[in-house]
Structures are given as C-alpha cells and as structure tokens.
Structure 1
Amino acid sequence: MKKIVLIATVVLKDGKNEGVLEALTALHQATHQNDKGCLQYDVHKDREKKNTYVFIETWENETLLAEHMEKAHFTAYKAFMGERVESMTLQKLEKIL
C-alpha cells in the first residue's frame, strides 16, 4: 500500500474560535502518541484567510488513516468542532515523484 498525504482545510464560522486551539492541541498530541501509521500530523493557521486551519498529514496507508478517523480523540474533536465549522475540504494525495 502507498502512503497517503491528506490536506484538510477547516474554516470556522466567525466568532466560533473559543476553545479551538485547545481542541487542536489535544488532537495533535493524541494523534502523535496513539495512532499507528502517522508519519506527519501538522496543523497550520492560514495567515491570509481568517478562521482557516490546514492539516497536513502523512499516513503509512489508507487503512491506518481510516482507523485514526474512528479513534476516540478524533471523534471527540469532531463533536467539539461540530457547529463551529463553516466548511471543510479534504484532499487525499499520493506522491508520484
């Protein structure tokens, strides 16, 4: 199986930032500590787009990425973010060169 690179862009609704940094930090730490196959899990704040966060992740394979999305720390993050999210896009990439 090939490595999967995931770019997830999350845009929050205006005024819905309270507690988000703490939720992102908890997710980041738990993922690095507990998720097999996680090679990279970085969270960035877009400098030009308000309320926009970009995750850049690399996983050993799609199966381990799918397992991550079912873990308690990820489902807790999704539940917390719930109504705070205006939009989210996911790009699954496969390195070719």
Structure 2
Amino acid sequence: MKYVVVVATLTLKDAYTEVGFEALKALHTATHKEDKGCVQYDLHKDTEKANTYVFVETWESEALLAEHMGKAHFKAFQMALEGKVESMSIQKLEKIL
C-alpha cells in the first residue's frame, strides 16, 4: 500500500500567534478523533523560524486525505486562520524507501 505523506508548513503573522496556535491544536485533536485513514498527524514547531509550524501527515489514500479536507473541523480551521497566515506551503510525498 502506498501511503500519501503531506508536509504542511505555515507561518503565522505575529499578531495572531496565540489564536493561530489554538486553531492548529484544535485541528490536530479533531483529526485524531474524527478522521479515518489517518496514520500520522503530528504538529511540530520550527525551532529556527518564529511562528512557523509544520504538520507531518500520513494518510492511507488520496481519497481519505480529500475526505479530511472536506470535514467541518478542517473547514473551521481554514476559516479560523483566514488572514492570519503569512506564508504556507504544502508538499505531497510518496515514500519510496
């Protein structure tokens, strides 16, 4: 089985550090409770870049990842961070070794 690995990096604007972190934690908790097919969903803080967080995710399939992105808790997360993110990048990876 080929898992889908996602590395999502986002930097919060300085004024939204606390509210942004709360939204990140809420997404992390809800994903672990509500999303099937989630093998790994870890939240990390960058030690060298202020207000920068990284989700490292592993999903059983693209379909289950898409389902996650359509759930209410993911949409609430997007709304909570609207206008509060300085930068964001998302990488989809396929583990080969």
Segments of structure 2 that go 5 or more residues without pairing to the other structure are none
Q: What is the distance in 1 between the residues matched to 2:22 and 2:96?
A: 35
1:67-82 aligned at under 5 Å gives the runs 67-82=67-82
Shift of 1:36: 0.8
Give 4+ residue runs of structure 1 displaced > 2 Å after superposition: none
Give the TM-score, by structure 2 length. Answer: 0.94
Equivalent position SS for 1:9? strand
Give the TM-score, by structure 1 length. Answer: 0.94
1:38-77 aligned at under 5 Å gives the runs 38-77=38-77
Shift of 1:18: 2.6
What residue identity is the alignment partner of 1:68? H
Residues 9 and 53 in structure 2, CA contact (< 8 A), matched pair in contact too: yes
What residue identity is the alignment partner of 1:13? K
Match of 1:28 in 2: 28
Report % sequence identity: 64
- Higher-helix-fraction structure: 2
Segments of structure 1 that go 5 or more residues without pairing to the other structure are none
- The count of corresponding residues between Structure 1 and Structure 2 is 97
Q: What is the distance in 2 between the residues matched to 1:26 and 1:13?
A: 18
